[in-house]
Amino acid sequence: MSTTDPRRLIPRTDRLLALPAARDARQRLGPQAVGALVRDLQEQARQGTIRPEQVEPALLDALRHPPAGLTAVLNATGVLVHTNLGRAPLSAAAVTALLDASGYVDVELDLDTGQRSRRGAAARAALLAACPSAPEALVVNNGAAALVLATTALAAGREVVISRGELIEIGAGFRLPDLIASTGARLREVGTTNRTHLRDYADAMGPDTGCLLKVHPSNFRVQGFTAAVPVAELRGLTGEHGVPLVVDIGSGLLAPDPLLPDEPDAATTLTDGADLVTASGDKLLGGPQAGLLLGRADLVTTLARHPLARAVRADKLTLAALTATVLAGRTPVGDALHADPDRLRERADRLAAAVGAPVVAHDGRVGGGGAPGVPLPGWAVALPESAATRLRTGRPAVLPRVHDGACLVDLRCIPEADDERLLGAVRAALGS
């Protein structure tokens, strides 16, 4: 290595470990974890991913946000509910609730009487207050579990009537038909991929029908020569046959959102006649991973008493975070969805000016199966495509969108308080 080789400027291990923050972190995280961080950053400097003078600041930043098996990421894709990034980021209220629930809590205890109480009572009360159309509510560990519990309890060994156009595939290759078949229920497919009529459902109804299931299509939209039956019309049919009408709305909106007029919500779906609504808590609701079941009290009670309910029940951390999310109302997902376009442009212009890059129009998306095909107009800073890898592997890690040979940095999902951290990450990625 020559005397002019910049790698000679990489800070020595002993000097980095002697930093006060590193000494403190060795007590909290252990010497092996801190040592591994130091070696990783030094190797990044040797490979040229970061400059030698960035090693110490990067170490200090990493020690402020220590690894815990998962790496915190700044979401610069413009996708609000990004499944690969853990879907909805939690609100400050939910984070505080998680910390409070990390110790002993009254998850199944009435402190007034000292007797055992109903699990998740606070979450249930919050959901019922936020969605008055729901007579009863139950929380399980995710949206798929909510649907599995409903079809198992209502239709195991019987038929689930569903439109062929709603036999969707969800993330990681999991398919709705396989999910329902695993419950012991039999699918009774009606209609066609693009058109299903009320008479199709009526022809399928019989003594072996356990429930009629309507599913909001996820991640796609069928346009053109199409037909579907609204919940209100299905309500009349299921009422005649005494069969429960179960509707999976998917994204977890409790009430209508004017920006997403075609996205179903729990309140409207129940008012239109659904007996039971299932949804996810970590999508547009903006809470932790959870499955929500809202609807008729007798049906929810039946589900809650089913043996499977124990296997899919939500833990105390989920219940605490969900309760806080619903009570607080405001969430990072909601803020990103309703972000002011002018303010987004101001922030993008400021970042672009600081690094000498152009700003381009860029549409964000809801993601997570919500509002497929609905654009969220905004802006992105266009960087060279080569910056993407350095952004992803830097500190902090930043996930941009790579499109048409450019690395696009969209600030819609990045809290404004993180703008300076983002600027530092972009500068490091550009080597400026």
Residue 226 or residue 146, greater confidence: 146
The yes-or-no verdict on residue 337 having pLDDT over 90 is yes
> Which range of residues forms the domain containing residue 258?
92-329
38 closest CA partner among 65, 21, 17, 57: 17
Q: Predicted confidence band at 172 (pLDDT cuts at 50, 70, 90)?
A: low
Q: Of 329, 359, 385, which residue is a domain's last? A: 329
Where do we find the tokens 């974890």? Answer: 33
Same domain membership, residue 292 and residue 198? yes
Residue 43 identity (one-letter amino acid)? E
Query: Is position 130 within any domain?
Result: yes
Q: Are residues 322 and 189 in the same domain?
A: yes
> What is the CB neighbour count within 10 angstroms for residue 217?
16
Residue 64 pLDDT class (50, 70, 90 cuts):
confident
Instruction: Please say which residue of 275, 298, 329 terminates a domain.
Output: 329
Question: In this structure, is residue 124 part of a structural domain?
Answer: yes
Give the per-residue pLDDT at 75: 98
What 3-state class would DSSP assign to 170? coil
Place of tokens 């110790």: 103
**Is position 152 within any domain?**
yes
Same domain, 171 and 129: yes
What global pTM score does this model have? 0.85
| E strand or H helix at 74 | strand 73-75
**pLDDT over 70 at 32, yes or no:** yes
Confidence at residue 133, expressed as pLDDT on a 0 to 100 scale: 97
Task: List the CATH number of the domain containing 310.
Answer: 3.40.640.10
* Three-class DSSP category at 61: helix
Assess whether 288 and 215 both reside in one domain.
yes
Give a yes or no: residue 57 inside a domain: no
Q: Answer yes or no: do 313 and 372 share one domain.
A: no
In angstroms, the CA 248 to CA 278 distance is 5
pLDDT at 6 over 80: no
DSSP 222-234: --SS-B---HHHH
Is residue 207 over pLDDT 80? yes
Cα–Cα distance for residue pair 93/79, rounded to 1 Å: 22
Q: What is the pLDDT of residues 134-151, one digit of tens each?
A: 999 999 999 999 999 999
Amino acid code (one letter) for 37: L
In this structure, are 304 and 361 located in the same domain?
Answer: no
Q: Answer yes or no: is 284 within a domain.
A: yes
Which among 389, 356, 425, 385 is positioned nearest to 47, based on CA atoms?
389
The answer to whether residues 254 and 126 belong to one domain is yes
pLDDT 10s digits, 395-424: 899 999 999 999 999 999 999 999 999 999
Looking at the fold, whether 217 and 263 belong to one and the same domain comes out as yes
CATH number at residue 84: 3.90.1150.180
Separation CA 274–CA 215 (nearest Å)? 12
Same domain, 322 and 349: no
> Do residues 182 and 133 both lie within one domain?
yes
| 59 falls within a domain | no
Does a structural domain hold residue 144? yes
The C-alpha atoms of residue 146 and residue 309 are separated, in whole angstroms, by 9
Q: Are residues 301 and 364 in the same domain?
A: no
Average pLDDT on 330-334 reads 97
Q: Which residue has the higher pLDDT, 4 or 199?
A: 199
Q: Which of 329, 355, 379 is the last residue of a domain?
A: 329
Name the domain count of the chain.
3
Query: Do 253 and 368 contact (CB within 8 A), yes or no?
Result: no
Same domain, 163 and 261: yes
Does residue 171 carry a pLDDT above 80? Answer: no
Mean pLDDT (whole number) for 140-167: 96
Nearest alpha carbon to residue 246 among 266, 206, 274: 274
Asked if residue 64 belongs to a domain, the reply is no
Please give the helix or strand (H or E) that residue 280 lies within, else none.
Answer: strand 276-280
How large is the average pLDDT for residues 268-272?
Answer: 98
Residue 312 has what pLDDT? 97
